[in-house]
Amino acid sequence: ASAYHWRHNIPELAKDHRVFAVDLLGFGWSEKALVDYGGGAVWGEQLAAFCREVIGVDGGAGAERVAVV
């Protein structure tokens, strides 16, 4: 989905959480790239990279707990 769809929920979620609204590749205002979207692996990889590079969570032992909606 698009980050735009969460625009009314973000302020409420931000009261108790650090909130990031991500437009996945090909959704919302993001351009649709010419990649293989089969199986959704591209979005899983995009979210994993976002968590590592932006949030600083790598999923290893002792990693910060993150909820993605």
Would the pTM count as exceeding 0.85?
no
Q: Which residues contact 2 (CB under 8 A, 6 or more apart)?
A: 23, 27, 28, 29
Greatest mean pLDDT among 33-37, 52-56, 58-62, 64-68: 52-56
Report residue 6's pLDDT band, with 50, 70 and 90 as the boundaries: confident
Phi/psi-derived region of residue 66, left when phi > 0, alpha when psi is between -120 and 50, beta in every other case? beta
